[in-house]
């Protein structure tokens, strides 16, 4: 039993840490989010050069064949630096779907281009009425000869503005909330029939509303089997959820450490505010929340993700527990910083905002708590010890 990184993982960790330190100081980061596009192409090129875009892909396609632990390492450091480039939605989530469902031809064509940085895919899954239910899909794809005609509306697609291609979850059969009958289609973001409404998010990332009107796609643009995409969607969203939690953990570490330092230095009534026992205990509780959050992330990372039941349980346990830690550590970081914490100028508020929005991403505390309960309590006889 060990929680150590391998030598390769330590190298990866050092590499990403160096990237953030050298290329992502606070001022640089703030200038990136203020640009029109909200991310920096040069950084993406550098990710490609460093091999980061290949972490999750197989070696035969030129990737690193990385594990969830490798992705955790990347995302945790990205979290510490509040790196805004759309690595999670495009490399991890969309990349995961392509690996999971792509035909040999598709992966041979697409994956090397993702790794090289030439293409970025994103996955458009959420709809307004779906909330966090991945099977709740209204967007329809209707067969028309050899083609499909797609119509629908996808909500809050992260990174879509930066993407060359979008993977669309569309209903080819079944009811709106049926797990069967969902098919994935790949389309260029510039296709006739796709309109992107790009906007910045409250935490300074970018997302888009994706409006799909009479988008005509050939059979070849289908990813995976017709009607059968749901299991892969759930699996890849689950894996992306782990990655998002790794990002959150990196953020929480910064929040906890920054706040502890601030309290040691900030003086009120003639002494550092960290001399107040109430503030000391609050910092202790923040530290404990951080440690517990880290532990449950390690639980998820080391669990058997190839077993769908285990994976779902582990991911929902992780996401709901992480959500609690985000709230506690985030809100107290602001509170202990006082007025300074409230300002846009001071960095702590940006970390708080990003952590909070990760709390919503892929399902909030209530959603994952319910999913965990459904998996662990509805069928109590089958519980293992």
Partner 1 sequence: MDTAFSKEDLAFQKEVRDFIHNNYPQSLRDSINAKRKNGEDLSREDFTDWHKILGKHNGWSAPSWPKKYGGAEFTPTQKYIFEQECAKAECQYVMPFGVNMVGPVIYTFGNDEQKEKHLPGILSGETFWCQGYSEPGSGSDLASLKTSAVKEGDHYIVNGQKTWTTAANHADWIFCLVRTNPDAPKPQQGISFLLIDMKTPGVTVRPIYLMDGSNEVNETWFDNVKVPEENLIGEENMGWTYAKFLLAHERSGIAGVARSKKAIERIKQIAKSEMSYGEPLIQDPAFQRKIAEAELELKSLEYTELRTLAKDSAGKGPGPESSLLKIKGTDIQQRVTELAMEAVGYYSNPHLGSTLSNEFVGPDYAANLAGSYFNFRKASIYGGSNEIQRGIISKMVLGL
From the list 81, 14, 87, 78, the residue with the least C-alpha distance to 56 is: 87
* Residue 103 C-beta: closest distance to partner 1, Å: 31
Cβ burial of 209 (10 Å; 0-12, 13-18, 19+) is: middle
From the list 66, 50, 60, 369, the residue with the least C-alpha distance to 246 is: 66
Out of 276, 302, 324, 364, point to the residue binding its own copies (CB under 8 A).
276
d(CA 78, CA 153): 30
* Residue 327 C-beta: closest distance to partner 1, Å: 8
Residues 197, 206 contacting (CB under 8 angstroms): no
* Residue 278 C-beta: closest distance to its own copies, Å: 5
* Residue 211 C-beta: closest distance to partner 1, Å: 10
Q: With binding defined as CB under 8 A, does residue 99 bind partner 1?
A: no
Phi/psi-derived region of residue 169, left when phi > 0, alpha when psi is between -120 and 50, beta in every other case: beta
- Give, as ranges, the residues between 310 and 339 that touch partner 1 (CB under 8 A): 317, 320-321, 331, 334-335, 338-339
Q: With binding defined as CB under 8 A, does residue 168 bind partner 1?
A: no
* Contacts of 93 by beta carbon, 8 Å cutoff, 6+ apart: 122, 123, 236, 237, 240
Out of 278, 306, 381, 383, point to the residue binding its own copies (CB under 8 A).
278
- Six-digit token string for 381: 């006889």
Q: With binding defined as CB under 8 A, does residue 9 bind its own copies?
A: no
d(CA 342, CA 331): 11
Q: With binding defined as CB under 8 A, does residue 126 bind partner 1?
A: yes
The option from partner 1, its own copies, none interacting with 138 (CB < 5 to 8 A, set by class) reads none
Q: Which stretch binds partner 1 (CB under 8 A): 41-49, 179-187, 214-222, 296-304?
A: 296-304
Q: Count interface residues toward its own copies (CB under 8 A).
A: 4
Q: With binding defined as CB under 8 A, does residue 271 bind its own copies?
A: no
* DSSP state, residue 93: I
- Cβ-based nearer residue to its own copies, 35 or 277: 277
Paired sense of beta strands 121-124 and 165-171, if any: parallel
Secondary structure element (H or E) that encloses residue 141, with its range: strand 140-144
- Give, as ranges, the residues between 127 and 156 that touch partner 1 (CB under 8 A): 128-133, 136, 155-156
Q: With binding defined as CB under 8 A, does residue 281 bind its own copies?
A: yes
From the list 65, 100, 84, 105, the residue with the least C-alpha distance to 20 is: 84
- Give, as ranges, the residues between 191 and 230 that touch partner 1 (CB under 8 A): 197-204, 207, 209
d(CA 296, CA 321): 8
Q: With binding defined as CB under 8 A, does residue 3 bind its own copies?
A: no
Q: With binding defined as CB under 8 A, does residue 15 bind partner 1?
A: no
- Give, as ranges, the residues between 341 and 370 that touch partner 1 (CB under 8 A): 341-345, 349-350, 352-353, 356-357, 360, 364, 366-367, 369-370
Q: Which stretch binds its own copies (CB under 8 A): 108-116, 135-143, 272-280, 329-337?
A: 272-280
Q: With binding defined as CB under 8 A, does residue 285 bind its own copies?
A: no
- Cβ-based nearer residue to its own copies, 46 or 280: 280
- CA separation, residue 344 to residues 78, 108, 238, 300, 351 (Å): 20, 45, 32, 34, 11
* Residue 269 C-beta: closest distance to its own copies, Å: 12
**Interface residue list for its own copies (CB under 8 A):** 276-278, 281
């Amino acid at each position: 039993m060990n929680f150590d990184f391998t030598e390769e993982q330590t190298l990866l960790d050092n590499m990403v840490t160096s990237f953030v330190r050298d290329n992502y100081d606070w001022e640089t980061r703030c200038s990136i989010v203020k640009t029109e596009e909200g991310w920096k192409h040069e950084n993406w090129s550098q990710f490609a050069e460093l091999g980061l875009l290949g972490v999750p892909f197989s070696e035969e396609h030129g990737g690193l064949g990385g594990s969830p632990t490798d992705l955790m390492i990347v995302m945790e450091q990205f979290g510490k630096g509040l790196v805004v480039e759309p690595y999670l939605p495009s490399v991890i989530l969309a990349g995961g779907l392509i690996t999971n469902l792509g035909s040999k031809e598709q992966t041979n064509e697409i994956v090397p281009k993702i790794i090289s940085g030439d293409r970025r895919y994103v996955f458009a899954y959420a709809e307004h009425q779906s909330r966090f239910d991945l099977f709740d899909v209204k967007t329809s794809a209707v067969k028309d000869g050899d083609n499909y005609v797609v119509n629908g509306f996808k909500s809050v697609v992260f990174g879509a503005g930066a993407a060359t291609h979008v993977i669309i979850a569309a209903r080819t059969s079944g009811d709106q909330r049926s797990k069967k009958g969902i098919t994935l289609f790949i389309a260029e973001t510039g296709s006739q029939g796709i309109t992107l409404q790009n906007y910045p998010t409250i935490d300074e990332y970018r997302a888009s509303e994706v409006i799909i009107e009479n988008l005509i796609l050939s059979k070849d643009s289908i990813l995976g089997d017709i009607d059968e995409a749901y299991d892969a969607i759930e699996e890849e969203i689950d894996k992306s959820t782990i990655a998002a939690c790794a990002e959150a953990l990196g953020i929480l570490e910064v929040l906890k450490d920054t706040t502890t330092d601030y309290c040691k230095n900030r003086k009120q009534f003639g002494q550092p505010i960290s001399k107040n026992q109430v503030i000391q205990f609050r910092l202790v509780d923040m530290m404990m929340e951080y440690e517990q959050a880290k532990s449950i992330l390690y639980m998820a990372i080391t669990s058997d993700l190839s077993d769908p039941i285990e994976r779902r349980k582990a991911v929902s346990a992780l996401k709901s527990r992480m959500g609690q830690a985000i709230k506690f550590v985030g809100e107290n970081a602001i509170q202990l910083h006082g007025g300074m914490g409230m300002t846009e100028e001071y960095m702590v508020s940006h970390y708080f905002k990003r952590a909070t929005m990760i709390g919503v991403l892929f399902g909030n505390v209530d959603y994952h708590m319910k999913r965990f309960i459904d998996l662990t309590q509805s069928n109590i006889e089958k519980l293992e010890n």
